[in-house]
């Protein structure tokens, strides 16, 4: 049996900075980061998002410019979020989310031709396109109609695949959405399109800044009827189990920092990649605290990102991606 103190002194392994480097876990590579970006119509638009310092709403030409430096540091992937700014094109079902001329559908080929090796993932949801801001059409009783939402989500996913997306990531938390989307993709000849489920996605306060960026807050009510409950661990775990069975290529836990336990548990029980979405509120909270002088911005970002990888995340979707250099070097 090994001895304890005073024969064993754990501080030996961290006495100098070289020793600390030697015994550290590997630094997360920039290729493990996916940068979520917000697209808007038009040209020459790069509008600061007030609630998310350092993030912008981009028209596609401006995103192409901004990606130059991001790709140069070794980040290889984006997750695209679209929206319509024409309030009158929004309807009950969010039909305009499938528009082949929508911002996302038009941006994909432009990004692919500017950066052929860039991995382009798209968020698949309806909340930025429905008149009521929910993630699917509502039933007579006002709740979201699960199966009608799945049909719409499948159509949106196919429209992104047609535009050339490498992968689609449905975030609506409808039962059966993975099976519905996989079937539609395969039927349309997109058997190579990656399907990434936002499999365990909680109803969370941490999406506030995002909804401001996307203009996608529900007009009435909230999303607790479809997003997972943080008070029900087992059902939250079953969400990921179901999506694995339905054929998802990767699982996801979202948000990340309040849910490190789920990242750990899920990554121990699956052989699929387990992505973590380090969401808008997690990003903006650190900015707000740093602005107040409570912590150092990049050192705190680094600590939080190590936590996510240490918990077992295999890739991280994070607004910190463009700041990789400032954070890790």
Cβ at position 316, least distance to ligand PBG in Å: 12
CB 33 within 8 A of CB 315: yes
Cβ at position 188, least distance to ligand PBG in Å: 23
254 among known catalytic residues = yes
Which range binds ligand PBG by CB under 6 A, 7-15, 96-104, 207-215, 258-266?
Answer: 207-215
Site string for ligand PBG, 87-126 (x = CB under 6 A): ------------------------------------x-x-
Question: Does 253 sit near ligand PBG (CB under 6 A)?
Answer: no
162, 254, 292, 325: the active-site residue:
254
Which range binds ligand PBG by CB under 6 A, 69-77, 140-148, 206-214, 307-315?
Answer: 206-214
30 is written with which tokens?
Answer: 């920039």
Q: How far apart are CA 304 and CA 317, in angstroms?
A: 13
Spell out the long-range contacts of 264-268 with Cβ–Cβ below 8 A and sequence spacing 24 or more. Answer: 264/311, 264/312, 265/237, 266/200, 266/237, 266/240, 266/312, 267/311, 267/312, 267/313, 267/314, 268/312
Q: Which helix (H) or strand (E) holds 102?
A: none
CB 32 within 8 A of CB 316: yes
90, 201, 292, 325: the active-site residue:
201
* Angle, alpha carbons 115-117-123 (nearest 5°): 85
Cβ at position 2, least distance to ligand PBG in Å: 45
Interacting residues of 208 by C-beta distance below 8 A, sequence separation 6+: 51, 280, 281, 284
32 among known catalytic residues = no
Please identify which residue in 127, 178, 275, 321 interacts with ligand PBG, judged by CB under 6 A: 127
Q: Which does 207 bind (CB under 5 to 8 A by kind): Zn ion, ligand PBG, none?
A: ligand PBG
Closest CA to 54 of 69, 41, 76: 69
Strands 56-58 and 46-48 turn out to be: antiparallel
Q: Based on CB atoms, which residue is closest to ligand PBG, 162 or 211? A: 211
Please identify which residue in 84, 193, 197, 280 interacts with ligand PBG, judged by CB under 6 A: 280
Cβ at position 173, least distance to Zn ion in Å: 8
Please identify which residue in 60, 79, 135, 286 interacts with Zn ion, judged by CB under 5 A: 135
Q: How far apart are CA 135 and CA 172, in angstroms?
A: 5
Q: Which does 279 bind (CB under 5 to 8 A by kind): Zn ion, ligand PBG, none?
A: ligand PBG
Cβ at position 291, least distance to Zn ion in Å: 29
Residue found by looking up tokens 């392994």 in the block: 13
């Amino acid at each position: 049996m090994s001895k304890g103190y005073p024969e064993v002194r754990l501080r030996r392994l961290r006495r100098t900075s070289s020793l600390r480097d030697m015994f550290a876990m590997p630094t997360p590579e920039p290729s493990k980061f996916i940068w979520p970006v917000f697209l808007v119509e038009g040209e020459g638009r790069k509008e600061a998002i007030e609630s998310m310092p350092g993030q912008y709403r981009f028209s596609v030409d401006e995103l192409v410019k901004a990606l130059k430096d991001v790709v140069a540091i070794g980040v290889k992937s984006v997750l695209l979020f679209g929206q319509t700014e024409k309030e009158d094109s929004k309807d009950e079902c969010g039909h305009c989310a499938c528009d082949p001329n929508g911002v996302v559908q038009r941006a994909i080929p432009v990004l692919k031709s500017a950066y052929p090796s860039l991995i382009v993932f798209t968020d698949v949801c309806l909340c930025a396109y429905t008149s009521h801001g929910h993630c699917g059409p509502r039933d007579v009783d006002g709740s979201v109609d699960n199966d009608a939402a799945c049909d719409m989500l499948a159509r949106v996913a196919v429209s992104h695949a047609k535009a050339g997306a490498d992968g689609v990531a449905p975030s609506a938390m409808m039962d059966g959405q993975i099976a519905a989307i996989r079937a539609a993709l395969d039927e349309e000849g997109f058997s190579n399109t990656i399907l990434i489920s936002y499999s365990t996605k909680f109803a969370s306060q941490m999406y506030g800044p995002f909804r401001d960026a996307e203009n996608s807050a529900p007009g009435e009510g909230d999303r607790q009827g479809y997003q997972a409950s943080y008070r029900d661990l087992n059902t939250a775990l079953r969400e990921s189990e179901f999506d694995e069975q339905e054929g998802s290529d990767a699982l996801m836990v979202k948000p990340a920092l309040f849910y490190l336990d789920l990242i750990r548990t899920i990554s121990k029980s699956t052989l699929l990649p387990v992505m973590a979405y380090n969401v808008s509120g997690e990003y903006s909270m650190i900015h707000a605290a740093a602005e107040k002088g409570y912590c150092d911005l990049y050192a705190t970002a680094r600590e939080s990102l190590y936590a996510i990888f240490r918990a077992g995340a295999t890739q991280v979707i994070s607004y910190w991606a463009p700041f990789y250099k400032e954070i890790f070097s």
